[in-house]
Structure 1
């Protein structure tokens, strides 16, 4: 077991955090009041943690103040939906398409979704698979700068430089597809799809808001599902289906309309210290979105969006 520091991306920003190398995996430690250890890039790995007990023992024995954690969290990966361990467990809500054939997925979509996909082609949208070269990175910079706000909050990637964008998109390049939607020579949408064994995970799906009427997001998802069916992929995932108690959002509606369903996968929370045990008992590890009622979250999100919108109109440069 070796201690180190590595860079990770949190909400679009790169930060350096303590890390412990255990069994060939990097375990990173984040948080202030509650220090949580997680498997680095767990969502994008090809396999799940196979010996959690060894990690738990070594984390408990860790003497480094920086790498010392209160809670160790890890999850099973699809298709493993049945709990394997007796640790404290909660369900991880995954947005997933259970893929058998492309035709089966397509026929089950709502008529409006199929119409939107066809509309993209009729309005001149062309989909291409690209390598992450300088030309694509230039298009990604413009894509990031389409709007300073997305989904009612400041967009973390707005204003990033070419090198910052290159760094953001360079992970897992050997097993990723960059699926691009073009209108003429203009990049109006991109999906980064990472292959993790029998699962293909959407790491990024970004479109230009002023070309919403061209429905680039729909055609990108359709192209991704078709490619995954050709490769024999069993699941296409798109982040969380439900974030904590936030059970009603435009993103959930979008995922529903494109054939994603909620799949529950075991996620484990193991206390490493007394502080960790108390926080788990009180549910503090879930954060505000995991503890507040959904009605309060909806009101708070609406007020937050109005606040940021006002700041944007007022010309406030710094968020």
Structure 2
């Protein structure tokens, strides 16, 4: 299946021309898929599509977001982070920042109930991984008593800002750092008149609501449905679409069974995390 290299960045304005290029290039792909980007949420093209979704905050103003879109609990957490002395500011993407950030990445091998694939990363690999699209990126760093305790990378896109790489220190989990980072990201959007702040998907297939979904909801993110197109390039692609073979294998499992397996995985990683800390 072929798709844009960066679906968030690439706005497809002429899919028919792109399809012709793909067919002539003989890439071996049977299906081409892409989604529309904000703010276009209604189908623009006469191709087969299924509804996908993103999590985004419609930005009117910072004050409106803080008073009307954020729940009371999240507002209290923002105030708590500020009261404890956490500050967030724009930071340069340099060696000092990457060295401090590497320490956060290597605090624990388990995050959010699953294996953290970036644990053990070195400075050069981290720098290389985060240096993508630097010309369109802004980094916000969270600091406590001069120490970097979290960050968020913002990508300034065509008509919205996307929150991408983000991480906070587990050693400072008593401070609602992530809430304050989102707060400052919204402030940045409002200041630079971007109408949306996007942060991944709101829901992921049959996974259902989880802690991240609740965090997004509490901080003013909404589920915005957008069309994802699936266009067959070959006869095999047409057959695959007809048989629904373009979907992920997890979609074939009953929802309850899929969520049960996720729960088992989370419990296993929680035990692994406890063993990791007890060995230190």
What TM-score comes out, normalization by structure 2 length? Answer: 0.93
Alpha-carbon distance, 1:288 to partner: 3.2
Q: Provide Cα deviations, 1:8-55, integer angstroms capped at 9, x if missing partner.
A: xxxxxxxxxxxxxxxxxxxxxxxxxxxx11111121x2x511111111
**For residues 103-156 of structure 1, what are the alpha-carbon distances to aligned partners after superposition, in whole Å with 9 as ceiling and x for unaligned?**
111112111110100100111211121011011000111111121112222111
Q: How many residues were matched structurally? A: 275
Alignment of 1:1-319 (within 5 A): 36-43=1-8, 45=9, 48-63=11-26, 67-108=27-68, 109-311=70-272
Runs (4+) off by over 6 Å? none
Query: Contact 2:206 / 2:259 at 8 angstroms: preserved in 1?
Result: no
- CA contact under 8 A between 2:30 and 2:236: conserved in structure 1? yes
CA distance in 2 between counterparts of 1:224 and 1:313 reads 33
Asked if structure 2 preserves the Cα contact closer than 8 Å seen for 1:202 and 1:237, the reply is: yes
Q: RMSD of aligned C-alpha atoms?
A: 1.6
Q: CA deviation at 1:313?
A: 5.7
Does the residue aligned with 1:42 lie in a helix, a strand or coil? Answer: coil
Q: More relative contact order in 1 or in 2 (CA 8 Å, sep 6+)?
A: 2
1:309, 1:217 → 2: CA distance?
A: 21
Answer 1 or 2: which has greater strand percent: 1
Structure 1 CA distance for aligned equivalents of residues 154 and 51 of structure 2: 24
Listed as ranges, the gaps of 5+ residues in structure 1 are: 1-35
Q: In the TM superposition, what whole-angstrom CA distance separates every residue of 1:67-113 from its partner, at most 9, and x where no partner exists?
A: 31011011111110110111110112110001111111111211111
- Contact 1:201/1:237 (8 A) holds in 2: yes
The match for 1:7 is none
**1:98 and 1:236 in contact (8 A); partners too:** yes
**Unaligned residue ranges in structure 2 (runs of 5+):** none
What is the Cα deviation at residue 280 of structure 1?
Answer: 2.1
Higher relative helix content: 2
Aligned 8 A contact 1:76 1:266 in 2: yes
CA distance in 1, matches of 2:202, 2:245: 21
